[in-house]
Structure 1
Amino acid sequence: MPLHPDYPLRGERLLLRPFTRGDVDAVYAYRRREDVARYLFDVALSREECALAIQQRIGQTALEREEDKIILAVELQQTGALVGEVTLILRSLDARQGEIGWIFSPDYHGHGYATEAARILLDLAFGPGDMHRVMARCDVRNDSSWRLMERLQMRREAHFREHAIFKGEWDQEYIYAILRREWLGRSAAMAGQ
């Protein structure tokens, strides 16, 4: 099930494309923010840390082995502004399981960009990626993230309470997922409308 997409991936308003070295300042503009880092495993990044992260992301554009990642910049087609990033991780090759995630600049919240980008990524996962199930996770307090999962018609499968220490305190985490047949059925129903 190797996945080597042709880039960019196009949506109605967005392009999902591999990162370039020229993206450092745009990514640093939101990854340096404490409100963005609050629910991430990372802390707010310095510009140097951001440059190193971008350098790693440049090569993360295909899935071949478990734990491989596709991490893509999300760009507005109309202006070329980089508004966030999305991730698809191959969690199990045998069971065809994946995980998606996203980070978006608060400057671009409220326009449906995260929803559109996540749909493009799920189309990739369940189309050319031939995945059986894709999950997503977030901190229970991250309302915008779990609401996005629900807009995608993902199902809440778990609510972990105090299962890990996260940034010095007990963590609570939601796990959401959707199956291939559910996603394709939803896509077919929307196309018929």
Structure 2
Amino acid sequence: MNFLLHYPLETERLRLRPFTRGDVDAVFAYRSREDVARYLFDPPLSREECALAVQQRTTELGLEKEGDRIILAVEKADDGVLIGEVSLIWRSVEARQGELGWIFHPEHQGRGYASEASARLLEVAFTEADLHRVYARCDAGNTGSWRLMERLGMRREAHFREHALFKGGWDEEFYYAILRREWLALRQ
């Protein structure tokens, strides 16, 4: 598949767009926070690390081969404030599967922005990218994330208990997924 989108993607309140070098401070505002990094593989990032992450994200805009990812900045349409990011990773070419992810600044959580942005990227996954199945995963303690997965219509498929060491302790992880036909049925 050689899949490139036309940006920005829009929703009622949001604009999903490619990252630019000018986004470093906004990304640093949430990726430097311990409460955000708690559930991420990375520790809180320095400004320099954020600059490198943003630079890498500026090129992650299409799906050409397995492992490729689309990572988009999420900004509010009314004022252009960058509030987070969403991602779609092509995990299996043969099985047409992808992984959905998100990171949002805590000051903008609880308003439906993550649901709105993730739903738009899920739509891209099942329409333009023609994926068969999309999954998402999170720490079992990350209630906001697994509830978001449920709002998106995903079902919990697995609960891995103490399956890996993560930041000095045993990790508990939930996997959620939705099939294209299930997603289509929710839209009828």
Report the TM range for the smaller structure's normalisation.
over 0.9
Partner of 1:2: 2
CA distance in 2, matches of 1:80, 1:135: 29
Partner of 1:111: 111
Shift of 1:83: 0.4
Partner of 1:150: 150
CA distance in 2, matches of 1:115, 1:35: 20
Aligned structure 1 segments of 4 or more residues deviating by more than 4 angstroms: none
Partner of 2:76: 76
The answer to whether the Cα contact below 8 Å between 1:95 and 1:132 also exists between their aligned partners in 2 is yes
CA distance in 2, matches of 1:178, 1:92: 15
Partner of 2:59: 59
CA distance in 2, matches of 1:142, 1:2: 34
CA distance in 2, matches of 1:120, 1:50: 25
Partner of 2:32: 32
Equivalences, count: 188
CA distance in 1, matches of 2:69, 2:86: 10
- When normalised by structure 2's length, the TM-score is 0.99
Partner of 1:85: 85
Shift of 1:94: 1.0
Structure 1 residues 63-98: Cα deviation after superposition (integer angstroms, max 9, x where no partner):
011110100000100000000000100000111000
Q: Helix, strand or coil: the match of 2:63?
A: coil
Q: Which runs of 5+ in 1 are unaligned?
A: none
**In angstroms, what is the RMSD of aligned CA positions?**
0.5
CA distance in 2, matches of 1:34, 1:58: 24
Q: Helix, strand or coil: the match of 1:160?
A: strand
Partner of 2:134: 134
Shift of 1:2: 2.3
Partner of 2:13: 13
- When normalised by structure 1's length, the TM-score is 0.96
Q: Helix, strand or coil: the match of 1:141?
A: coil
CA distance in 1, matches of 2:3, 2:139: 29
Q: Helix, strand or coil: the match of 1:12?
A: coil
CA distance in 2, matches of 1:111, 1:172: 27
- Percent identity over the alignment is 67
CA distance in 2, matches of 1:127, 1:9: 14
Shift of 1:108: 0.3
